[in-house]
Structure 1
Amino acid sequence: MATQDAFLSVSGVGPEPAKRVLSPLVEDEAEEEQEDGYDMPEHPKFYPTDTNGDLLFLTEDITEYGDSLQNEESATGDDGRVRVESKVSRLSYYVDKQGSDNDSLDDVDCVSDVSFHSRDDDYETDLEVDEERLLHPERFDRDLTGKDKYIKVCEDMGISPTTYFVKHIQDRELKMKFHGLGPQRMKAISVPLQTNTNIEILNLEGNAIDSDGAVCLTKVLRENFFITDLLLADNKIGTAGGIALSSMLVDNRNLVKVDLTGNDIGNGAAQGFSDVILNNKNLKILLLGHNRFEDAGAKLFKLAIADNSTLDVLDLSWNHFSTKGAICLAEGIQENVGLKSFNMAMAGLGKQGSVAISKALKENRTLLELNISMNRIPLEGANIIAQGIKENDTLKVLKIGSNPFDSDGAMVILETLDGNSNSSINELDFSNIMVKTSFARLQMQLQEKRNMTIINEGIIPEFPRTNSARLTAFRVDPLGMFKVSAYKAGVDLADVLLPIGDDFTMEVKEFKELIKSLDMGVTDDQIATVARRLNQDGKVYFRPLLDMPDIDEEEVFEYDGTEHESDRSEVTISLDDSRPVLGPRRATVN
C-alpha cells in the first residue's frame, strides 16, 4: 500500500509562514484493478474563506486579512457581553474532493490534522521543568538563616535545639562561648550554617566539639562564604581536627581570622598549617598558641614564615619548643617581610636563642610587636638582645617579662633604648621583674620625653645597711639584740627590772610602757616580739634579760654599713632559758 502526504503552506500571523500538514491519503490497490476510465484521486484542495464566505487566494498574506478583521466591530452576544474572537478561530478550512461522492474523506478534522511550526515561547505548559531549580535547589532556598533546617535536623537527631542559637542565628556575631555543644550538637549547627548569610563572626570557644565537630565545621566553611572570623579556642580539636581544618584553610578565600588556641594540636598538623601560612593570601590572623607543636614543626614553620608576606599576626606561644625550635622561629622572623605581630612566649630561647632574636631585630623592618616573655633569657641574653634593639627603628611593642635577667638586665635594655633616638618602641613590658630605683628614675624620664608605657613589677626597696643588718639580726635573736640595744643606750636592765619583784614577772602592758620610757632605740613591734618571747602565763618573765653577756666595747655593733666579724653570732644556751640566745659573744651565767 502506498501513501501520499499532502502539505499546504498558509501565511500566518507570525514572522514565518505556518505549515499545515494533512493526514496521509491511502490508495486502495483494489481500485487500480477497476476500469481504465475511472479517474485517480487527486490531492485535496484548501479554500480559506472570510466570514462572508469569500475565498482568499492562497498567495494572500494572512496579515492583510487580519487587518480587515481588526477594523471590524466586536460581536455582541445575546447576553450583552462583547466577544472577541481570535483570528485563527475565525478561519474555516474546508476540504473538497473532486470525483465521486463516495471517495470523499471521512470527517477530516482540519485543526487536529494541521501542525503549526512556531517558536517555543509561543506556548506555555504546566509540564515545563525548571532544570536550574531541580539541579541546584539551594540557590532557591528562602530560609537564609537556616533556622527551620536546624529545628528539623534536631528533631531527626533526637536532640533539643539550643535556644541561644535559634535566638541569635540572625546576628552578625554569634557568641556561643562555653555552651557545652559537643560533637553532636556541632553537627546539628553545621546544617543551618552552610546557608546562613548573616553570621560573619563565629565564636564557639570552649565547646569541646572534638575532632568530629571540627570535620563537620570544615564542610560548613567550604560552602559558607560569609563567615570571616572563626574562633575555636579550647575545643579539644586534637591533631586530627587540626589536619582537617588546615586542609580547608589552604584554599579558603573568605576567612580573615582563625583562633585555634589551646586545642592539643600536635606535630602531625604542622605541615598542614605551614601550607596555610605559605599559600593562603587572604588570612591575616592565625593563633596557634597553647598547642603541642615541637621542634620538627618549628622547622616547617620557619620556611613558611620566611616566605609569607600577607599574614599580619601569628601566635605560636606556649608550644613544646626547645631552644632549637625557638631558634628556627627567630630565623624565620629574620627573613619575613610582612608579619606585624609575632608571639613566641614560652618558647625556650635561652642564651643561644637570644642571639637569633637580636639578629632578627637588626634585619626585620616590618615587625611591630614581639612577645618573648618567659623564655629563660639570662643577663647575658638581655645584653645580646639590647644590641638588636640598638639598631631597630620599627618595633613598637616589646614584651620581655618573666625572664631571669632580673633588674640588672632590665636596666641594660632600658639604657640601650634611651640611647637609641631612632627607636619606635612605645611600650616595654617587664612583667614579673622588680627594678631598682635607678631604673625608676630613667623610666620617668623616658615616659615624659617619649610618652612611653613601661611595665614592671615594682621597685625593690633599698634600706640602709645599718637598718637592714639590725632588722635581720633582731628577727634571728630578739632577746640577744634587745640586750645589745639596752647596752648601747646605757641602760642597766638589772637596775630597772629587779626592783619590780622577786618573782621576775610583770604585766605585759606595764613591760611595754617601761621599755618605751627607757628610749633604747627599739620599735614597738620589737618590744612586742620580746614580750611574746618572754610570755609565761600571760605575764612577762624577764629573768632571761638579766643574763647580761660579757661585752667588749670594741666588738659592739656599730652598724656603719661594713661587714663586721661580730655579725656572725653564735648560738648558745642559757642555764635559765632553754631557748637559743644569739649575741655578739657567748652568754654567761650570773
Structure 2
Amino acid sequence: MNVQFPPKPPLPGDGWDGRVTTGSPGIPLYETENVPAPESSEEALYCEAETLPTVEKEKSAWESSETDLEIEDTEKFFTTGQKELYLEACKLVGTVPVSYFIRNMEEPHMNLNHHGLGPKGTKAIAIALVSNTAITKLEVEDNDITDEGLLSLVQMLQENYYLQEMNISNNSLGLEGARIISEFLQRDASSIWNLELSGNNLKEESAELLCQALSTNYRIRKLNLSHNQFSDLGGEHLGQMLAINVGLTSLDLSWNQFHIRGAMALCNGLRANLTLKKLDLFMNGFGNEGALALGDVLRLNSSLVYLDVGSNSIGNDGASKISRGLEANETLKVLKLFLNPISMDGALLLILSIKRNPKSRMEELDISNVLVTEQFVKTLDGVYALHPQLDVVYKSVLGLTAKKTLPLWTNPMKLIQSYADQQKITVVDFFKSLNPAGTMRMPVGEFQKILIQQNKVPLNRYQVREVIKRLDEKTGKVNFSLVAVSRP
C-alpha cells in the first residue's frame, strides 16, 4: 500500500497544489510548480532580482535511482509510531539506536553532535525523519557520516518539508560531499534555509560546486563555510556567486585561506550584493590591500550590518582605508578588527571617521587589542556625544589611576535593582519604561543609546556594556525577560 505522509507546509515559490503521486515504493512524491508566491515585506528586496532560467540537465545517479530510505513492510512500520519506526530502521540497517533521539523526537531542536552515528546510524535517523513533523533543526556535527550518510540525509530532505536548519559540520565530507550537496541545492526542493558545513575539508573544487548551486538557489539564507581550505581561487568563485545571489543574509568564511586575490574577488562580489547582512572573515589574510577593497565596499554597500575582519594582518594603512568607507556608510552596525596590528593612530582614524559621518549607525567597534591613552578616551567621548549608540572596545587606558578605574566595575544591576526597590517596581518594569514601545524587546543600539542618556540610574559605558551582556539575545535585540526578578 502507499503510505501517506503528513502534508508538507506550502513554501514561498513552491506552488504546491496538494496533488500527490507515487514515486519509489512507499514514498509519495509531491508535484510542484515553480510559481513564485508573494514575499513578505522583510524579503521584498528579493523580488527585484529576476529568477535565473532553470537549465535542463541529466539527472545524477542519486536523483534518478530509487531512494533507499525504504522499509519493505511500510504499513506495519508507519502504524506503530515514530519510536517503533526508528527502532525498526535501526534493525534494518544494523545499528544501535540512539536513546537521545528517541527521547527527543517531538522536540523542535535535535542535537546529535558527537554521537558517533556513522553512515548507518545516520541512515536510520533519516528514515525516521522522513515522516517527522516536529523537528525543525537537526545537528549531526562530528559523526563521521561519510558520503553514504549525507546521501541519506538529502534524500530525506526531499520528503520532509518541516526541517529548516541542518548542521553537518566536521564530517570530512570533502569533494564528493560537496558534489552531493551541490546537486541537492540545485534541485531547490527542501525547506532548508540554514546550512552549516564548517570543517569539512572543502577546497577550491568544492567551492566551485557549491557556488554553482548557490547562483540559482536563493532559499539558503544562512551558510557556514568556516574552517575549510578555500584560498584565492575559492574566493573568486564565492565573489562571483555573491554578485548574483539574492538569498544569503549571513555568510561565515572565517578560518579559511583567502589572501589578496581572494579578498579582491570577494569584495567585487560584495559591491553588487544587495542582501548579505552578516559576513565573518575572521582569521584570513586580507592585509592592507584587502582592507583597501573593503573600504570601497563599505562606501558603496548598503546591506552589510555586521563585518568581522579580525586577525587579517590589517595595519594602520588598512585601518585608514576602512575608515574612508566608514565616513560614507549608513548601514554597518558592528565592525570587528580584533587581533590586527593596528596602533592607537589607526584606531584614532577609525573613530574620527565615525564622528564625521552624521548618518553612521555604528554600534560596536572592536579594537580590543589596541592599547590607548587618556587623550584617546577624551577624543572618544566627543564621538560618543554625537553617536551615543556607539561602543568602542579597546584594551585598556594608559595613565588612569586605580582610583579612577574602580567605579567602572560597580555592578550595574545592583544599582538598577536599588532604584527599582525605591520606586516599588521590578527591574523588568524599569527596562520596559525605557522602551518607547513598552515591549519586552528592543534593538541593542537603541537600548544602549537610551540607557546612556537616561538619568534615573546614571551608568557609564562599561556598566551599560555589562547590562547588555546580561540581556542580549544574540539576535540584535535585548530581551528584558532574561532578568529573573520578583516584585518587591
Normalising by structure 1, we get a TM-score of 0.53
Deviations 1:133-159 (A, max 9, x none): 998644596459643222112223333
Q: 1:219 to 1:384 in 2, by over 3 A?
A: same
Secondary structure class of the residue paired with 1:432: strand
Displacement of 1:414 in angstroms is 0.9
Out of 186, 190, 204, the position equivalent to 2:140 is 204
1:402 and 1:388 map into 2 onto residues whose CA distance is 20
Aligned to 2:86: 150
Is 1:454 aligned to residue 392 of structure 2?
yes
Helix, strand or coil at the partner of 2:147: helix
1:298 aligns with 2:222: no
CA shift for structure 1 position 369: 1.3
Shift of 1:191: 1.4
- Per-residue CA deviations over 1:523-579 (Å, capped at 9, x if unaligned) read xxxxxxxxxxxxxxxxxxxxxxxxxxxxxxxxxxxxxxxxxxxxxxxxxxxxxxxxx
1:64-75 correspondence runs (5 A): none
Contact 2:354–2:383 (Cα < 8 Å) also in 1:
no
Q: How many angstroms does 1:461 deviate by? A: 4.8
User: Are 1:193 and 2:129 an aligned pair?
Assistant: yes
Partner of 2:306: 369
Tell me which residue corresponds to 1:231. Answer: 167
Letter in 1 for 2:304: L
Q: Is residue 2:318 matched to residue 1:381?
A: yes
Q: Any idea what SS the aligned residue of 2:369 has?
A: strand
**Pair 218,132 (structure 1): closer, same or farther in 2 beyond 3 Å:** closer
Secondary structure (helix, strand or coil) at the match of 1:458 reads strand
Question: Which residue is 1:503 aligned to?
Answer: none
Partner in structure 2 of residue 23 of structure 1: none
**Structure 2 Cα separation of the partners of residues 301 and 150 of structure 1:** 39
2:265 counterpart letter in structure 1? C
Q: 1:440 to 1:145 in 2, by over 3 A?
A: farther
| Partner in structure 1 of residue 246 of structure 2 | 309
Measured against aligned partners, the alpha-carbon deviations of 1:243-289 in whole angstroms (never above 9, x if no partner) come to 21122122234111111112211222112211232111221111111
Residue 439 (structure 1) shift = 2.4
The offset of 1:407, in angstroms, is 2.1
> Which residue is equivalent to 2:378?
441
Matched, 1:247 2:183: yes
The amino acid that maps onto 1:194 is V
Match of 1:165 in 2: 101
Q: Provide the C-alpha distance between the structure 2 equivalents of 1:313 and 1:268, rounded to a whole number of angstroms.
A: 22
**CA 1:132–1:238: 2 relative to 1, 3 Å:** closer
User: Does structure 1 conserve the Cα–Cα contact (< 8 Å) formed by 2:351 and 2:383?
Assistant: no
1:220 aligns with 2:156: yes
Distance in 1 of aligned mates of 2:23 and 2:361: 61
CA distance in 2: counterparts of 1:163 and 1:299, whole angstroms: 45
**Helix, strand or coil at the partner of 2:327:** helix
Distance 1:184 1:431, change over 3 A: farther
What residue is the counterpart of 1:50 in the other structure? Answer: none
Distance 1:134 1:325, change over 3 A: closer
Secondary structure at the aligned position of 2:191 is classed as coil
Aligned to 1:319, which of 233, 256, 272? 256
Counterpart amino acid of residue 232 in structure 1: I
Match of 2:406 in 1: none
Q: Cα gap change, 1:192/1:397 in structure 2, threshold over 3 Å: closer, same or farther?
A: same
Pick from 295, 320, 340: which aligns with 1:403? 340
Paired letter, 2:135? I
The CA deviation string for residues 150-177 of structure 1, in whole angstroms up to 9 with x for no partner, is 2112223333211111111222211222
1:14-61 C-alpha deviation (Å, 9 max, x unpaired): xxxxxxxxxxxxxxxxxxxxxxxxxxxxxxxxxxxxxxxxxxxxxxxx
Question: Where does residue 545 of structure 1 map in the other structure?
Answer: none
The aligned residue for residue 336 of structure 1 is 273
Letter in 2 for 1:356: A
Q: Secondary structure at the match of 1:450?
A: coil
Matches within 5 A, 1:422-433: 422-433=359-370
CA distance in 2 between partners of 1:325 and 1:135 (Å): 44
Contact 1:239 1:267 in 2 (8 A): no
Tell me if the contact between 2:352 and 2:383 (Cα under 8 Å) persists in the aligned partners: no
Q: Which has the higher contact order (CA 8 A, sep 6+)?
A: 2
SS of residue paired to 1:329: helix
SS state at 1:279 partner: coil
| Separation in structure 2 between the aligned mates of residue 134 and residue 387 of structure 1, nearest angstrom | 58
- Superposition deviation, residue 302 in structure 1: 1.0
Q: How does 1:403-552 map to 2 (within 5 A)?
A: 403-447=340-384, 449-461=387-399
Consecutive unaligned residues of structure 1, counting only runs of 5 or more, are 1-130, 464-590
- Assess if the C-alpha contact under 8 Å between 1:326 and 1:347 holds in 2: no
Are 2:111 and 1:175 equivalent residues in the alignment?
A: yes
1:440-475 deviations in Å (ceiling 9; x for gaps): 233344445422222222224589xxxxxxxxxxxx
CA distance in 2, matches of 1:364, 1:268: 28
Whole-angstrom distance in 2 between the partners of 1:178 and 1:459: 43
How far, CA to CA, are the matches of 2:124 and 2:147 in structure 1? Answer: 15
Q: Given that residues 182 and 207 in structure 1 are in contact (C-alpha distance below 8 angstroms), is that contact kept between their aligned partners in structure 2? A: yes
The answer (yes or no) to whether the contact 2:94–2:120 under 8 Å persists in 1 is: no
Per-residue Cα deviation, 1:404-433 (whole angstroms, up to 9, x for no partner): 122221121011111211111111111322
1:297-342 CA distance string (max 9 Å, x none):
1111111101122211111121122211111111111111111111
AA partner of residue 396 (structure 2): G
Partner letter of residue 452 of structure 1? Answer: L
Contact 1:393 1:422 in 2 (8 A): yes
Are 2:285 and 1:348 equivalent residues in the alignment? yes
Aligned to 1:123: none
Distance in 2, matches of 1:178 and 1:329, equals: 33
Matches within 5 A, 1:44-83: none
For 1:246 and 1:406, how far apart are their aligned partners in 2? 43
3-state SS in 1 of match to 2:346: helix
What is aligned with 1:574?
Answer: none
* Cα distance change of structure 1 residues 205 and 446 upon mapping to structure 2, 3 Å threshold: farther
Gaps of 5+ in 2: 1-19, 29-73, 402-488
Q: Which runs of 4+ in 1 moved over 4 A?
A: 131-136, 138-145
Match of 1:531 in 2: none
Counterpart residue type for residue 459 of structure 1: V
Normalization by structure 2: what TM-score? 0.64
Q: What letter is aligned with 2:204?
A: N
C-alpha contact (below 8 Å) 1:323/1:347 kept by paired residues: no
Counterparts of 2:341 and 2:79 in 1: how far apart (Å)?
59
Larger radius of gyration: 1
After superposition, the C-alpha distances for 1:217-249 in whole angstroms (9 at most, x for unaligned) are 122222221110111222222232122112212
* Count of aligned residue pairs for this structure pair: 333
The amino acid across from 2:104 in the alignment is H
Matched, 1:279 2:219: no
**Conserved? CA contact 2:258–2:286, under 8 Å:** no
> What amino acid is the match of 2:143?
N
* Matches of 1:303 and 1:342, distance apart in 2: 16
